Amino acid sequence: MTPDSRQSLVSLSGVAKTYGSGTLALEGVSTEIARGSFVSLVGPSGCGKSTLLRIIAGLIEPSAGKISWPLNGGARPADIGFVFQDATLMPWARVFENVYLPLKLKGVSRKDAEARVGEALQRVGLSDFAAAYPRELSGGMKMRVSIARALVTEPPVLLMDEPFAALDEFTREKLDDDLLELWRGQNWTVIFVTHSVYESVYLSERVLVMGARPGRVLQDIHIDAPFPRGRAFRESTGYVARCAEVSAALREGAEA
Amino acid sequence: MEDSRAYRIFLPLAVGIAFLLLWEGLVRHYAVPEFVLPAPSRIAQSLVDNFGSLMGSLMVTLKVTILAFLLAVVGGVGLAIVFSQSRAIEGALFPYAVILQVTPVVSIAPLILIWVGFDRVELALLIIAWIVAFFPILSNTTLGLRSADHNLRDLFRLYGASRWQVLSELLLPSALPYMLGGMKISGGLALIGAVVAEFVAGSGASTGLAWRIIEAGNRLDIPKMFAALLLLSALGITIFFALSWLEHTLLKRWHESALRREA
Ligand SMILES: Nc1ncnc2c1ncn2[C@@H]1O[C@H](COP(=O)(O)OP(=O)(O)OP(=O)(O)O)[C@@H](O)[C@H]1O
Ligand SMILES: [Mg+2]
């Protein structure tokens, strides 16, 4: 475990969430996430990963505990990109309009936005579908539109909830690499939820392994392989060992 | 089925023609008196003979119906938007909208006529037709404005959208299918309201199609009654199809209800 020398961007202490229905979705989550870091959350279905991400985004309030943003004088940064677990597109709007939305809401004119929207669509390989309606896209394509929408504002903080789960292995690996490149190039902070142990190890500097009932962080595993990572890392013994470590932590959580 | 379109159009048409022929044949064969049941040919004749007065009446009814419908759209959508902005206002006013809806319009019609005055019957007709047409649009749009996807709402919040942006970019588009559904019901109701109002107003003060029916009935001019009835049906059908067309045009690219499924 190497302690992070970077400044802490967001700090959670004893965060818990009980939903109105009485479900205890999270309990006692305390962690720090450094600015510029890439952190993954893995855990069984229903362990509160989406809930934690929503709390960090400020979409729901924790029912106990504190979340603070020390770098920003305690306030949440205004520009947070969020990719929902399902694509969450506006069905009545074409792909272009969907990706343009964040800029539109910030008052950027269509003309000024065109190039940036085009670039975001190109990143996810959907340049040819700008005029299509979401209905006309496959599940994975919809998800990619949703990723393009999150990227279009170039947010310094990017929260992604299983963004690549619906994609084929090949596209997923390509987007993994694209994401890593963006993250390194732009000095973003990425918090990434995934079900895939392999993906979490490949992408992250840190993997937070979560357990269910109640949802909590079981282990905080540092992946200290250097970036850029590529094919070679994916096939290295170090990678396999890390994956085994994360899997073991998950299993432990399931048996506990 | 590749000929489903043909089925949809020609089948009902063929049934209609067969029905008319049977009607004509039976009336002639049994020599049914005209004041009991006129033959279709006799009704068509009456339509031609009274074309001027019937068309004038059609215009009166059409004007009341369309005006009442448009005002119902403006009022219904407008009030629903107000409701969407404040639960308190919705809670305070919605019960009264319901009361207005559940009270049989025939029973309030005379009151409205008296208030508005018999010299302004058309205004009274308009108000009555509006009351009938208003509620489906209000209740459907209210439901539609509430049905916006919650993740999308969160997304708008995350990007700091203003109230107005949420309304115009998210709530109204989400509500559009519901709104159009309400309009389809209201279009027919506006016509019913206009006709009922005229029946109540009676007295020859109004000159719409409903009055023509009453008038022809009093004179036992049954073919003319049927002719006026025919025009009323045609009007109702036209309104329905116009609104269906509007709905289809606005929703065909994205809403489940209007999408053609690949076979
Ligand atoms: N809006 C809600 N109302 C009530 N309970 C909820 C709500 N959202 C989530 N929960 C509950 O909270 C718990 C955690 O849900 P959450 O969506 O955070 O899980 P998750 O880890 O993201 O699961 P998955 O991997 O399947 O997406 C679950 O038990 C779920 O039933
Ligand atoms: Mg989830």
A132 touches chain B (CB under 8 A): no
Rounded CA separation B143/B149 (Å): 13
Q: What is the pLDDT of residue A2?
A: 46
B116 DSSP assignment: H
Nearest CA in chain A to B165: A105
Tell me which of A60, A90, A158 to substitute to probe the interface with B (most B C-beta atoms closer than 10 Å): A90
Chain A residues inside the 8 Å CB shell of B173: 90, 92-93
- Asked whether the CA dihedral A168, A172, A173, A175 is positive or negative, the reply is positive
Architecture of domain B37-258: Orthogonal Bundle (1.10)
CB pairs under 8 A between A and B: 51
Q: Is A9:A35 a contact under the CB 8 Å cutoff?
A: yes
- Strands ordered across the beta sheet of A24-34: A24-34, A8-18, A64-68
Phi, psi of A155 (to 5 degrees): -75, 135
Whether ipTM exceeds 0.95: no
Which of A15, A18, A21, A23, when mutated, tests ligand 1's pocket best, judged by the most ligand atoms within 8 Å of its CB? Answer: A23
A18 lines ligand 1 (CB under 6 A): no
Q: pLDDT of B223-247, one tens digit each?
A: 999 999 999 999 999 999 999 999 9
Could you tell me the mean pLDDT of each successive run of 10 residues in chain A, 256 residues long? 70 88 86 91 90 92 89 82 92 95 92 93 91 90 92 91 87 87 87 92 91 86 84 85 89 76
Q: Does residue B4 or residue A245 have the better pLDDT?
A: A245
Domains A12-30+40-77+157-256 and A87-155 fall in the same CATH topology: yes
DSSP string computed for B59-82? HHHHHHHHHHHHHHHHHHHHHHHH
Which of A15, A17, A19, A86, when mutated, tests ligand 1's pocket best, judged by the most ligand atoms within 8 Å of its CB? Answer: A19
Q: pLDDT of B8-61, one tens digit each?
A: 888 889 999 999 999 999 999 999 888 889 999 999 999 999 999 899 999 999
N-term to C-term CA, chain B: 9
Q: Quick check: B131 pLDDT over 70?
A: yes
- The encoded tokens of residue B226 equal 């049927």
With an 8 Å Cβ cutoff, are B159 and A91 in contact?
Answer: no
Q: Of the candidates A209, A205, A243, which has an alpha carbon nearest to the alpha carbon of residue A227? A: A205
A71 touches chain B (CB under 8 A): no
A212 lines ligand 1 (CB under 6 A): no
Alpha-carbon dihedral angle through residues A165, A171, A175, A177, given to the nearest 10 degrees:
120
- The encoded tokens of residue A102 equal 């964040």
Residue B149: which of A57, A88, A93 has the nearest Cβ? A88
Chain A residues inside the 8 Å CB shell of B155: 82, 84, 88, 101
Q: Does residue B107 or residue B152 have the better pLDDT?
A: B152
Q: What is the pLDDT of residue B127?
A: 92
Rounded CA separation B201/B87 (Å): 38
Q: Is B220:B35 a contact under the CB 8 Å cutoff?
A: yes
With an 8 Å Cβ cutoff, are A106 and B254 in contact?
Answer: no
Q: Is A37:A227 a contact under the CB 8 Å cutoff?
A: no
A85 lines ligand 1 (CB under 6 A): yes
DSSP H or E stretch at residue B7: helix B4-30
Q: Of the candidates A103, A110, A117, which has an alpha carbon nearest to the alpha carbon of residue A148? A: A117
A25 lines ligand 1 (CB under 6 A): yes
How many angstroms away from the CA of B172 is the closest CA of chain A?
11
Give CATH superfamily name and number for A12-30+40-77+157-256: P-loop containing nucleotide triphosphate hydrolases (3.40.50.300)
Rounded CA separation A93/A103 (Å): 15
DSSP string computed for A25-66? EEEEEEEEEETT-EEEEE--TTSSHHHHHHHHHTSS--SEEE
A13 DSSP assignment: E
Which of A29, A49, A59, when mutated, tests ligand 1's pocket best, judged by the most ligand atoms within 8 Å of its CB? Answer: A49
Sequence ranges of the domains in chain A:
12-30+40-77+157-256, 87-155
Ligand nearest to the CA of A42: 1
Q: What is the pLDDT of residue B198?
A: 86
Measured CA distances, A80 to A7, A179, B133 (Å): 18, 16, 45
Burial class (CB in 10 A: 0-12, 13-18, 19+), A56: buried
For B:105-164, CB contacts with A below 8 A are: 149, 151-152, 154-161
Q: What is the pLDDT of residue B203?
A: 63
Q: pLDDT of B160-201, one tens digit each?
A: 899 999 999 999 999 999 999 999 999 999 999 999 888 887
Measured CA distances, B116 to A120, B120, B123, B126, B199 (Å): 61, 6, 7, 11, 16
Those residues whose C-beta lies under 8 Å from the C-beta of residue B59, and which sit 6 or more positions away, are none
Phi, psi of B161 (to 5 degrees): -65, 145
Strand-pair partners of B206? none
Written as one letter, the residue type at B216 is A
B168 touches chain A (CB under 8 A): no
Q: Does 3.40.50.300 match the CATH number of domain A87-155?
A: yes
Q: What is the pLDDT of residue A1?
A: 41
Sequence ranges of the domains in chain B:
1-32, 37-258
Nearest CA in chain B to A90: B152
Tokens 């009485």, residue? A22
Ligand 1 centre and the CA of A51: distance in Å? 6
Helices (H), chain A: 49-57, 95-105, 110-123, 139-151, 169-186, 197-203, 231-234, 237-255
Strand-pair partners of A31? A12
Ligand nearest to the CA of A214: 1
User: Measured from the CA of A53, which atom of ligand 1 is nearest?
Assistant: 18
Cis peptide before A155 (omega within 30 of 0): no
Q: Is B35:B18 a contact under the CB 8 Å cutoff?
A: no
3-state secondary structure (DSSP) of residue B57: helix
Rounded CA separation A200/A215 (Å): 19
With an 8 Å Cβ cutoff, are B169 and A135 in contact?
Answer: no
DSSP string computed for B31-48? T--TTT---HHHHHHHHH
Q: Quick check: B1 pLDDT over 60?
A: no
Q: What is the pLDDT of residue A254?
A: 75
Q: Please state the pTM of the whole predicted model.
A: 0.85
Q: What is the pLDDT of residue B174?
A: 94
Strand-pair partners of A32? A11
Chain A residues inside the 8 Å CB shell of B158: 57-59, 80, 82
Rounded CA separation B24/B20 (Å): 6
The arithmetic mean of pLDDT across residues B199-211, rounded, is 77
User: Measured from the CA of A51, which atom of ligand 1 is nearest?
Assistant: 18
Rounded CA separation A184/B126 (Å): 67
Those residues whose C-beta lies under 8 Å from the C-beta of residue A236, and which sit 6 or more positions away, are A225
Average pLDDT value over all residues in chain B: 89
